[in-house]
Amino acid sequence: METINSLYPVVKHLHLTLIAVSVLFFTVRFILKLKGSAVLDKKVMRIAPHIVDTLLLLSGLALAFIIKQYPFVDPWLTEKVLAVVAYILLGVMAMKSNRNIFFRVFAFLGAIAWVVYAAKIAMFKQAIILAS
């Protein structure tokens, strides 16, 4: 019988794959939104990102459980969660805002920057903003 720790590489690779798929979906949907494409109205384009993001969240929780580090206990993980929240908020602004295109592109680029920042935190497991 496998221990929970032996699942770490599988869950980690699943998590990384889901991050890539989530960011790819976001980017494609943003470009389609800028073009005013009717493809965005298709059911798969409305549902799939939510499924991917739910699986992404679950894989992240599984990783935290496996490595026994938790948000609001470990500063680096708290900071990563806050970066993900910033990504989500800017992503919503980029996709749903009725503002001009400049604002929406700026929100999109900001969202991508927060993903990059969350990746940096995850790689080095060291908080920058919340460092004491």
Decide: 100 and 131 in contact? Cβ < 8 Å.
no
Say which DSSP state 132 is in. -
| Cα–Cα distance, 104 to 86 (Å, whole number) | 15
Q: Where are the alpha helices (DSSP H) in the chain?
A: 8-35, 43-67, 75-96, 101-124
Integer-rounded Cα radius of gyration of the chain: 16
pTM of the shown model: 0.88
Return the sign of the alpha-carbon dihedral for residues 102, 104, 109, 110.
Answer: positive
pLDDT recorded at residue 1: 45
- Ranked by mean pLDDT, the top range of 43-47, 53-57, 106-110 is 106-110
For the cut 80, the answer to whether the pLDDT of residue 131 exceeds it is no
- Rounded mean pLDDT of 72-90? 93
Distances (CA, A) of 122 to 70, 79, 84, 128: 13, 10, 11, 12
Q: What is the pLDDT of residues 3-49, one digit of tens each?
A: 777 899 999 999 999 999 999 999 999 999 999 999 999 999 989 99
For the cut 50, the answer to whether the pLDDT of residue 89 exceeds it is yes
Query: Dmax of the chain from CA atoms?
Result: 56
Mean pLDDT across the chain? 92
**What confidence tier does 2 reach under pLDDT thresholds 50, 70, 90?**
low
